[in-house]
Amino acid sequence: MNLRPAETGGETSVLLPQNVAVVAEEAANRAARAFWDWSKTSAKVRLDHLAAMADALSAARDDLVDVATKEVGAAPQWIDFNISIARDILNQAGDLIDLMQDTEVPHPDGRTSILRRQAAGVVLGFAPWNAPITLAVRAIAAPIACGNTVVLKASEHCPNTHKLVVDLMERAGLPKDVVTVVTNEPEDSLDIAKALIAHPTVRRINFTGSTRVGQIVAQEAAKSLKRCLLELSGKSPLIVLDDADLDAAAAASATGAFFNQGQVCISTERIIALDAIADDLVDRLVARSRAYKAADPTIEATALGRLINEDAAARVAGLIEDAVSKGAELKLGGEWAGAVLQPTVLDHVTPNMRIYGEESFGPVASVIRVRTEDEAVSVANDTEFGLASAVFSRDTARALDVADRLETGICQINGPTVFDDASMPFGGLKASGYGRFGGAAALDEFTETRWLSLHHGLNAEKIEDMLNLGRKTHDDET
């Protein structure tokens, strides 16, 4: 087999496909060979490696910004944000190690049960391009903290960024093949995904990306009865009630809709405002949005970068044009050139418009006006997706009541939808997937729970008696 080494300056465990089936086989086998030694490492060794990897990301900030900016067009501040969250993820993953300690349960009959968390084996992770550093690290950190090894399938849009992340981990001392990254040409993506999922050494799968592709991953995994963690598309609502702090709500709406050009799974896709405050909120939203400008970061330094490619910009522009043609008011933006789309505010968005239901994944703040709180909840839930949401109200009890009725895995009270905490369970409902990254919830995703039962003083007679063998039947006794 002809394997080409990574061109990132290190000896990263990277396989560049010459033949899809052969490369998938080799990547999974290398991870499987590394598993036994890694799974037996001490807690201290794993903690030291996680800390070293976090430091390596910070030290390589300039290199990461350079590579990611070229590949995905993100502004440097988005890459800085990625690095910060990735560090938190690595540091929090260390907390999982202590949670894997055995639990002993004594029984009245003298037995002792041991409940044991055990590494599952090889974990296959799919990382997308939109948050290339954060989500690559998230696909790796908890699995290796729990003693697994990882095959990371890099995104075709940012293979060099994902290769660099893994290269930095190995430069920081992570043993070779604990993480192996596989890259591929776009036309090979589906075939190599299927080959990796089907490989017998792969025991767990985590996928972050679109619902459409996530469904394929889940279907392929089901053929081998393999457990998946799926974090998929979103259409996050931000509800603004009539007693809200409108400046805070406007700031959360603008930053949530425009951060990384709206290319975030928990982006604020729908701003649902009660009629009583809608005019005031829109005025404040437009005023704040005027401060943002988008440009290709390789040409001009601005608050926002470009979209992933021209096709993405054209698709989002089409959603805007459709909305305006059906009665939406274009309050700001809408201009686009190449892959650069300026931040856009649409008012009076209604269900007959494509942008009402489709995930835009672009820098568009869509305002939907409603008459009542109940209608706000109904509109928020009127989507196949259920990842994140937010509610703004000065009355915390009222906001929590609304949050309880929202069909999302995450809800922020008086905060932006774009918010993460590595110690908390992150994931969605409905077509936004299932399973949870983050916090202790990751243990359920990346370990097997085993029951070991210690019997004391059992001899052959007692075993037969325990299982009711060798006894007279009731008929014999009578």
How far apart (Å, rounded) are the C-alpha atoms in residues 34 and 12? 14
How far apart (Å, rounded) are the C-alpha atoms in residues 393 and 375? 16
Of residues 274, 238, 243, the one with CA closest to residue 254? 238
Active site residues: 231, 265
Do 90 and 54 touch, CB atoms closer than 8 A?
A: yes
Q: What one-letter code names the amino acid at 167?
A: D
How far apart (Å, rounded) are the C-alpha atoms in residues 71 and 65? 10
Largest CA distance in the chain: 96
∠ CA 316-318-324, nearest 5°, is: 110
**Residue 179: φ, ψ to 5°:** -125, 125
How far apart (Å, rounded) are the C-alpha atoms in residues 320 and 363? 11
Do 142 and 96 touch, CB atoms closer than 8 A?
A: yes
- DSSP tag of 174: P
Of residues 13, 24, 18, 25, the one with CA closest to residue 3? 18
Q: What one-letter code names the amino acid at 86?
A: A
**336: number of Cβ within 10 Å:** 21
Beta strands in 52-156, from DSSP E residues, in sequence order = 103-106, 112-119, 122-126, 149-153
Of residues 354, 344, 331, 229, the one with CA closest to residue 292? 344
Do 103 and 12 touch, CB atoms closer than 8 A?
A: no
Of residues 216, 208, 204, the one with CA closest to residue 232? 208
How far apart (Å, rounded) are the C-alpha atoms in residues 455 and 106? 11
How far apart (Å, rounded) are the C-alpha atoms in residues 159 and 432? 25
